[in-house]
Amino acid sequence: MISRFKWYAVRVPCSVDELLQKLAQSRYDPSLNSGFIVNIPERSFQFFWRTSIYATSIDLDGISKQNEVVSTCSQRVTLLGTDQLMFRMEDPPRSSKELLNSLDKILGFGFSCEQIFITDKIVKDSIKSFQTITLNSLKLSGSISSIAATARVEIASKVGIDPESVKGFGLSHSVVDAGSYSVRYKGLTGQVGFTRTGICKLSGDLTPRVQAYIETTLMAGLKK
């Protein structure tokens, strides 16, 4: 099973308890367009919102008709930290606009939320304590100055990639767009993948440990 995460650095004009209490006052009801279900002991909440799409049907006379199809979406969010807060979003949608707009409306002035982008350095710093670390795939983009061109390189290996060998591709000012690592600890394995869009994918028996290490690294970075 693959778990997908995004993390956000958050500032709020109140305490965490007050934040959750305010969200609880906007409790989700199926008759409303959006709302929250709060779990105070777990410092988490789930946001629900309705979206509409329009489907076109054509009857036997060739007359088209638009039909509205309403669906309900949800997003689970866990609050991490105390003085410095982070949101952990599990299986995030492509856009968090609905959620952030609702939070801004409820919390008002003093609320800010900025996505934390997971980089190759963050991942390497987070997994460096594991017994075995293997780089499985890497996507790079950069320039080839000799021909005034840009290039994208994708590398994958079942046996692992030597990071030093990547330097021989002739790319200058290269940027890591995505990558994946596998780790091993006491016979257990785990996989971590990341992209520049901020999505982090975790799988394997070591998922809880890798997740905790990543969040520790992110929190330390926010406190600097």
| DSSP letters for 12-66 | -SS-HHHHHHHHHTTB--TTSSEEEEEETTTTEEEEEEEEEEEEEEE-TTS-EEE
Based on the structure, what is the number of domains in the chain?
2
Which of 93, 116, 139 is at the close of a domain?
116
Do both 92 and 169 map to the same domain? no
Buried b vs exposed e over 162-187: b needs ≥16 C-beta within 10 Å?
Answer: eeeebeeeebeebebbbbbbbbbbee
Please give the model's pTM, rounded to 2 decimal places.
0.85
Which of 116, 136, 158 is at the close of a domain?
116
Do both 7 and 102 map to the same domain? yes
Q: What count of residues does the chain have?
A: 224
Mean pLDDT by 10 residues, the chain (224 residues): 93 92 92 92 94 79 79 92 91 88 92 92 93 89 69 82 68 79 93 91 95 94 79
Do both 62 and 77 map to the same domain? yes
Label the pairing between strands 85-90 and 172-185.
unpaired
Do both 99 and 72 map to the same domain? yes
The pLDDT value recorded for residue 132 is: 92
The pLDDT value recorded for residue 223 is: 76
Which of 99, 116, 133 is at the close of a domain?
116
Do both 127 and 67 map to the same domain? no
Do both 108 and 138 map to the same domain? no
The pLDDT value recorded for residue 209 is: 95
CA 19 from centre of chain: 22
- What would the two tokens of residue 176 be? 């890591």
Q: What is the residue range of 185's domain?
A: 120-223
Do both 105 and 190 map to the same domain? no
The pLDDT value recorded for residue 128 is: 93
Give the side-chain half-sphere CA count within 13 A for 193: 12
Do both 61 and 98 map to the same domain? yes
Do both 14 and 108 map to the same domain? yes
Do both 108 and 131 map to the same domain? no
Buried b vs exposed e over 209-222: b needs ≥16 C-beta within 10 Å?
Answer: bbbebbbebbbeee
Element (H, E) at 208: helix 207-223
Do both 182 and 90 map to the same domain? no
Do both 134 and 96 map to the same domain? no
